[in-house]
Amino acid sequence: MAEHNHHFDPAEMEEWYDFTSSSKRKLIIGMLAGLATLLIGAFLVAKGWGIGLNHVHEHAEHAAHGHEAHHGLPAWGKRVVGNLWMNAEFFTGISVIGMFFVAIQYLSWAGWSSIIKRIPEAFPAFIPFSGAIMLVLYVAFGHEIFHWRHEGIMDPESEHYDAIIAGKSWYLNNAFFLIRTVLYLGSWYGLWVYLRNLSKQEDAIGGTEWWYKMKYLSRIFILVFAVTSSTCAWDWAMSIDTHWFSTMFGWYHFASWHVTGLAVTTLSVIFLKEKGYLPAVNENHLHDLGKFMFAFSIFWTYVWFAQFLLIYYANLPEETIYYKERFGGYGGIYKAPFFINLFMGFLVPFLWFMTRDAKRNFTFLKVGSFAIIIAHYFDFYQMMMPGLVGANGGFGLIEWGTTLFFACAFIYVISAQLTKASLVAKNHPMLEEAVHHDI
């Protein structure tokens, strides 16, 4: 238990993160290596020598799904676009969860987290980058990503006309989709910029008024995010398989983002701690983060299972096709990601983080956090890839390269953002409570 220090001095809590030039160099090399791997992978797949390329030609199933080859890009191009889209969405999610975490802390009057809140607070800085990639991809290759953007699919005269998809045209149309995407990204980022400024002003000026202002802003963000976290999931992920829909999907998609964001937060805190930063953060704070990961892994499983079970019970062909594609469709290439996701997203965190000691041990936390991140990477992979590339999917250099590129870019942007404010919000009114946090 922490010794009671009756001489708490906020000024002493201030500390600045040093983003060294060697770290910058390594991350840039990582980004370039990722891009290079992506290009080599794309080249190999284009030449037909690809690692992880599956020579499966299940035309029957392919056609049944409606993804006929009546559009531009070759298989390797679709796979590159698909990977970029999937990673951009995954990392946008981790970023916005940083803001969500901070907002939840304000709304729940949480004191313990005030000492680590600057770390998730830095995450949304990545939204403009991943958001820009998403917008460019949508404008340039939207017809490759989304079934409902296919040529002539909403035109009754066309041979590709699909009455079911045409019936959704009031929502799934080009202009409205772009407006929504810009609104999601803009509102999340805009509210974050505002919150971040208030947070910096709190450091500079002090007093409790900033806390109340940030709480008010958090309330607005939660209201916005309550709607947009669901609708963005419909737009960005669920509409890839346009025929299929699930009322659980918004929650499921959000739960996956949330638990990944918590794991990234935990890893960042431990990383900073091991570099010698955040001396006042101890196993009590990490215990709380561990509990969050444990609880929200179960929450994700609950939502995952609820979605699965409704479809399983009802056994309607137009719904079960979604799971059929993942269990055994396309030569079974999505079976492994599907089960990696389920086991590492539920069973591993559930058993790994169950005991108190595990949640207070840095090594345990690191291993568990990585398991969660990998699990939910594969969650997004199996959510999108069957619809994006179908039988031309796989896990090879393209996937490794894209993920490496995004991970390094994310770490770079977040590290740069961390240097812009003290690592500890020194004038947070509940900081002393966090210093004495004991559970």
Partner 1 sequence: MDTNKRFLVGVYDDDDEVMAAVKTVRASGIKIHDVYTPFPVHGLDKAIGHPRTRIPMVAFMFGTLGLITMFVFTLYTMRLDWPMNIGGKDYYALPDFIPPMFEFTVLFTAFGMVFTFFITNGLWWGNKAVIFDLRSTDDKFVMAIDTASNQKSEAEIEKALRETGAIEINVKEIVEEED
Task: State CA 265 to chain mean position distance.
Answer: 12
String marking each residue 315-344 x if it binds partner 1 according to CB under 8 A: x-----------------------------
Nearest to 188 by CA among 114, 125, 118, 236: 125
Nearest to 373 by CA among 411, 319, 418, 423: 411
Distance in Å, CB of 342 to partner 1, minimum: 12
**Euclidean distance between CA atoms 256 and 234, whole angstroms:** 14
**Euclidean distance between CA atoms 426 and 11, whole angstroms:** 6
| Cα first-last separation, the chain | 9
Is there binding between residue 356 and partner 1 (CB under 8 A)?
Answer: yes
Residue 39 and residue 69 in contact, taking contact as beta carbons nearer than 8 Å: no
Residue 419 contacts by C-beta under 8 Å, 6 or more apart in sequence? Answer: 16, 17, 18, 19
**Euclidean distance between CA atoms 341 and 376, whole angstroms:** 6
Distance in Å, CB of 280 to partner 1, minimum: 16
Contacting residue, 29, 223, 226, 309, with partner 1 by CB under 8 A? 309
Q: Which stretch binds partner 1 (CB under 8 A): 171-179, 208-216, 309-317, 393-401?
A: 309-317
**Euclidean distance between CA atoms 195 and 66, whole angstroms:** 45
Is there binding between residue 7 and partner 1 (CB under 8 A)?
Answer: no
Contacting residue, 47, 355, 370, 419, with partner 1 by CB under 8 A? 355
Nearest to 16 by CA among 118, 84, 154, 99: 118
Distance in Å, CB of 1 to partner 1, minimum: 3
Of 159 and 438, nearer to partner 1 (C-beta) is 438
Neighbours of 327 (CB within 10 A): 13
Is there binding between residue 275 and partner 1 (CB under 8 A)?
Answer: no
Of 79 and 359, nearer to partner 1 (C-beta) is 359
Of 302 and 395, nearer to partner 1 (C-beta) is 302
Is there binding between residue 313 and partner 1 (CB under 8 A)?
Answer: yes
Distance in Å, CB of 320 to partner 1, minimum: 12
Contacting residue, 327, 343, 354, 419, with partner 1 by CB under 8 A? 354
Binding residues for partner 1, total number by CB under 8 A: 14
Contacting residue, 234, 271, 308, 339, with partner 1 by CB under 8 A? 308
**Interface positions with partner 1 (CB under 8 A):** 1-2, 4, 305, 308-309, 312-313, 315, 354-356, 436, 438
